Chain A
């Protein structure tokens, strides 16, 4: 049997931060508005202090059960993919197994991964289904990254949003999820990082010293940091190779791909990649205007939009590719 994506459900926090709200918080950036808008975000959801990633994941999963009519008893593995957990231990997936009232006879695991999280996770789900006869894997890809931002970090607050997605990966006879390519370059692990507060660097008063970069953006070692130009260049130079490697691995030409769904990092980068790869607009999905970059959730959100709004035919080929923190990357081709 083959693994395929059967259903996707999305869940968002209630609070929406619009661009008007953003420029009220950062009025000094109004003069740079047209340039900032190139990242392609008008609204983004922001989680409140009390809500955790697992709360969002829970509601996304419940939504999936309501929409897809799958019985909870049929789920035989649970994957929680995020970088935000309820506790150091136990795993959040174990907590969610109980909260979602799933069977005790299932496996559950947390996958710690950011922008490449969806790719990492579905490659595991495919392995469970195709190598170990599992039938229905519930994958929860969630981000509450906004909780980690410095209050003066305008760039991150403009670009990112919070979201949860629940993805049902099931088995069928026909082709579904193809072969994967993966990559890692830990030599650039400091490109996207929260430096202090983990086991390596404990939080000290120095962790909270503000650092203003050359472009006037502020963060500190206790908060989220991203080397924007470094990550952009990584995307621009690496993604075309990733796509070529995915095509080669799956023995298919770029012309045979019906749709391309890349990690929705930012619209400016996506358009630069689209131009570089010569992909026509109707095949290239950009879907982040009202959600922002939602990290591990961007591909399922964009895929769901594709599945709901385009008249997809059985067997349509969709190339998916992600890249980000680590630095890591990966991708595959899925058959609708």
Chain B
């Protein structure tokens, strides 16, 4: 599993409309101005493709930060 820093960088790269540097380890992603259901799909597809791990809508609902998601993916990979 890649480091948290690389995980954040990859996800930030996947998300259009996002100002570089706004996705930090502890920011609540739901507070991002551009947060949308498409962001959820992009994260689900990225994690499925890169780590062969399934994230659900509930997972995204139950986590708050990219650090939480990174830990979840790590636990499942």
B56 within 8 Å of A (CB atoms): yes
**How far apart sit A268 and B42, CA to CA, in the bound complex (Å)?**
8
Query: Is A217 located at the chain interface by the 8 A CB criterion?
Result: yes
Give complex CA distance A155, B45 in Å: 19
Bound complex: CA of A13 vs CA of B41, how far in Å? Answer: 30
Q: Answer whether A276 and B16 are a contact pair too, CB < 8 Å, given A35-B36, A217-B37.
A: no
> Which of chain B's residues have a CB closer than 8 A to the CB of A38?
16, 38, 42
Cα distance, A229 to B58, chains bound together (Å): 9
Partner among A217, A233, A272 whose Cβ is within 8 Å of the Cβ of B57 = A233
Question: Is there a chain A Cβ closer than 8 Å to B73's Cβ?
Answer: no
A275, B49: Cβ atoms closer than 8 Å: yes
Asked whether A34 lies within 8 Å of B17 as measured between CB atoms, the reply is yes
Within 8 A of A (CB), among B10-60: 15-17, 30, 33-42, 44-45, 48-49, 54, 56-57, 60
Task: Give Cα A33 to B39, complex, Å.
Answer: 12
> CB < 8 Å: which of A31, A33, A155 contacts B37?
A155
CA distance A233 to B61 in the complex (A): 15
CB-CB under 8 A from B57, the residues of chain A are 227, 229-230, 233
CB of A50 within 8 Å of the partner chain = no
**Pair A233/B33 contact, Cβ less than 8 Å:** no
The minimal Cβ–Cβ distance linking B16 to chain A, given in whole angstroms, is 4
In the complex the two chains form, what is the Cα distance from A227 to B54 in whole Å? 17
The contact size tier of chain B is 20 to 34
Residue among B36, B38, B49, B54 with most chain A CB within 10 A: B38
| Shortest distance from the beta carbon of A135 to any chain B beta carbon, whole Å | 45
Q: Cβ of A193: which chain B residues have Cβ within 8 Å of it?
A: none
CA distance A223 to B36 in the complex (A): 21
A228 within 8 A of B: yes
State A214–B39 Cα separation when bound (angstroms): 12
Q: Mark A155-181, 1 if CB is under 8 A from B, else 0.
A: 100000000000000000000000000
**Is the CB–CB distance between A232 and B34 below 8 Å?**
no
Contact partner of B17 among A35, A228, A268, CB < 8 A? Answer: A35
Residue of A with least CB distance to B46: A272
A214 touches B61 (CB 8 A): yes
> Is A32 at the interface (CB under 8 A from chain B)?
yes
Which residues A22-68 have CB closer than 8 A to chain B?
Answer: 31-36, 38-39
Question: Which 6 interchain pairs have the tightest Cβ spacing?
Answer: A229-B57, A34-B16, A215-B37, A35-B38, A272-B45, A228-B37
Q: A214-B30, A230-B56 are in contact. List 20 more A-B contacts (CB 8 A).
A: A32-B36, A32-B38, A36-B38, A39-B38, A214-B61, A215-B36, A215-B37, A216-B36, A217-B37, A227-B57, A228-B41, A229-B41, A229-B56, A229-B57, A233-B44, A236-B44, A236-B48, A269-B41, A272-B45, A276-B48
